């Protein structure tokens, strides 16, 4: 029987985590370096959540399909002939072979390489050639209706495809309701994909959500966030960003009184995401849908990221950038799109160049991961002003593992 989170991390460390934030201590080193703890998360945490696994553009047309992995489980995501997004275990019902090996377009069916068992896009078993020695297995007593591909619960929210492995989570719409509320003023109906990129970095996946604060902006993202007075009201000591935790969602909400509210579309020539009638102006927000999804939305762009844990010290980030209407592809916006991507990815689009916000964050996470090699890293603090959501995430994690 596998150990619990308390047994691996030490009950005393979880008690410290749950102290009032000014006295609390963060998760110990083992949470970021232990293979046993990583395996516990894969088995006990991720299957309970709605995990993001793909973008809808991966399966844009009927018959499009992609193989993905969620918590170590191989899955097929596809678009059926009626346009519905579906998910199935990527396992042939004959001898447990992977059915779909690589992304495919406009399929009429799915066929296992091993013995040519064939499935419809609804998962139904259609053919088992020569299973009984005859071409169409007409003499077989196999009940095809009982041996189709096993479905996986899936749902879509704003271009992101999610799966729930244990089939017990509340509906996705209920889970993401705080995010729906956060973006209620925006008309997101005509977002179009402009760019996507995948990077891998040497850090534990949890460090992504340990970074769910703005305290680091001025130092890590020098040249993008230039003044601490853009982050905090010096007179009151209060950040201009509200930190919100609601169930499986964490939000960094930029308030209208933020100095960033003065940036206009004339200064940044990409068109803005339309506001709904009567809506209040939108400045910006970052939303985390736990356990592996983040979305950063400005008044001009929508940027989801899927984080895939690979090992205790390695994570894959699959990132996408959407803009409003023609801004996603029209030639007249090409230069503006490039400047937007430069800000996030750097001109080279290479992680190792540290040229944009994403790579700068990931480099800091790598430095944190390296520091976890020291026992000194067992004693980490939270700022009550800036890091409420960091502690919220860590307590969410251990509470979910204990549930």
Are residue 178 and residue 152 in the same domain, yes or no?
Answer: no
Predicted confidence at residue 396, as pLDDT, reads 97
Q: How confident is the model at residue 265 (pLDDT cuts 50, 70, 90)?
A: very low
- pLDDT tens-digit series, residues 104-136: 999 999 999 999 999 999 999 999 999 999 999
Domain-embedded: residue 35: no
Cα(383)–Cα(391) distance, integer angstroms: 9
Domain-embedded: residue 27: no
Q: How confident is the model at residue 222 (pLDDT cuts 50, 70, 90)?
A: confident
- Judged on CB neighbours under 10 Å (0-12, 13-18, 19+), 374 is exposed
Predicted confidence at residue 16, as pLDDT, reads 97
* Domain CATH for 365: 3.90.380.10
Q: Which of these three, 100, 132, 156, is where a domain ends? A: 156
CB 15 within 8 A of CB 6: no
Kindly provide the b/e burial profile for residues 379-394, where b requires at least 16 CB atoms within 10 angstroms of the residue's own CB: ebebeeebbbbbbbbb
Are residue 108 and residue 83 in the same domain, yes or no?
Answer: yes
Residue in this structure with the two tokens 């020539």, named with its chain if needed: 269
Average the pLDDT over 152-165 and give the result: 98
- pLDDT tens-digit series, residues 314-325: 999 999 999 999
- pLDDT tens-digit series, residues 306-315: 999 999 999 9
The residue with greater pLDDT, 227 or 191, is: 191
Predicted confidence at residue 386, as pLDDT, reads 95
* Domain CATH for 99: 2.102.10.10
Cα(189)–Cα(175) distance, integer angstroms: 20
Predicted confidence at residue 268, as pLDDT, reads 62
Domains of the chain: total? 2
Which residues, other chains included, contact 18 with Cβ-Cβ below 8 Å and sequence gap of 6+? 24, 395
Predicted confidence at residue 264, as pLDDT, reads 43
Domain-embedded: residue 28: no
Average the pLDDT over 57-81 and give the result: 98
Q: What mean pLDDT is reported for the chain?
A: 94
Domain-embedded: residue 3: no
Predicted confidence at residue 262, as pLDDT, reads 47
Q: Which domain holds residue 315?
A: 170-402
Which residues, other chains included, contact 381 with Cβ-Cβ below 8 Å and sequence gap of 6+? 24, 25, 26
Predicted confidence at residue 1, as pLDDT, reads 61
Secondary structure E strands in 229-300? 232-233, 238-239, 241-246, 249-254, 284-289, 293-298
What phi, psi does 22 have (nearest 5°)? -70, -25
Q: Which of these three, 103, 127, 156, is where a domain ends? A: 156
Q: What does pTM read for this prediction?
A: 0.95
Predicted confidence at residue 261, as pLDDT, reads 55
Q: Which of these three, 126, 156, 186, is where a domain ends? A: 156
Average the pLDDT over 346-374 and give the result: 93
């Amino acid at each position: 029987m596998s150990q619990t989170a308390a047994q691996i991390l030490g009950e005393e460390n979880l008690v410290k985590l749950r102290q009032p934030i000014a006295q609390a201590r963060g998760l110990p080193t083992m949470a970021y370096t232990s293979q046993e703890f990583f395996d516990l998360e894969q088995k006990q945490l991720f299957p309970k959540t709605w995990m993001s696994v793909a973008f809808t553009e991966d399966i844009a047309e009927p018959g499009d399909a992609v193989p993905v992995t969620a918590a170590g489980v191989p899955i097929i995501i596809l678009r059926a002939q009626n346009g519905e997004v579906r998910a199935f275990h990527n396992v042939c019902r004959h001898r447990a072979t992977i059915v779909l090996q690589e992304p495919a377009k406009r399929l009429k069916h799915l066929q296992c390489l091993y013995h040519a068992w064939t499935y419809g896009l609804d998962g139904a078993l259609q053919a088992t050639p020569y299973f009984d020695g005859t071409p169409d297995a007409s003499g077989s007593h196999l009940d095809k209706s009982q041996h189709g591909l096993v479905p996986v619960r899936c749902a879509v929210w704003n271009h992101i495809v999610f799966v729930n492995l244990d089939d017990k989570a509340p509906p996705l719409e209920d889970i993401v309701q705080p995010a729906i509320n956060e973006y209620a003023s925006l008309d997101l109906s005509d977002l179009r994909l402009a760019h996507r990129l995948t990077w891998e970095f040497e850090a534990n996946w949890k460090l992504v959500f340990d970074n769910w604060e703005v305290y680091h902006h001025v130092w890590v993202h020098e040249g993008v966030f230039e003044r601490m007075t853009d982050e905090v009201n010096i007179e009151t000591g209060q950040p201009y960003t509200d930190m919100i935790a609601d169930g499986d969602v964490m939000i960094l909400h930029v308030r209208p009184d933020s100095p960033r509210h003065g940036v206009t579309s004339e200064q940044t020539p990409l068109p803005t995401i339309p506001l709904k009638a009567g809506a209040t102006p939108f400045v910006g927000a970052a939303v985390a849908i736990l356990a592996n999804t983040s979305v950063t939305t400005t008044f001009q762009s929508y940027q989801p990221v899927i984080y895939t844990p690979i090992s205790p010290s390695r994570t894959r980030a699959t990132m996408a950038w959407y803009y409003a209407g023609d801004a996603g592809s029209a030639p007249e916006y090409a230069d503006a799109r490039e400047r937007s991507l430069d800000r996030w990815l750097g001109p080279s689009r290479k992680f190792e160049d540290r040229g944009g916000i994403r790579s700068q964050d990931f480099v800091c996470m790598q430095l944190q991961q390296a520091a976890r090699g020291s026992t000194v890293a067992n004693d980490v603090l939270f700022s009550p002003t800036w890091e409420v959501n960091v502690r919220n995430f860590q307590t969410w994690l251990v509470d979910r593992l204990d549930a």
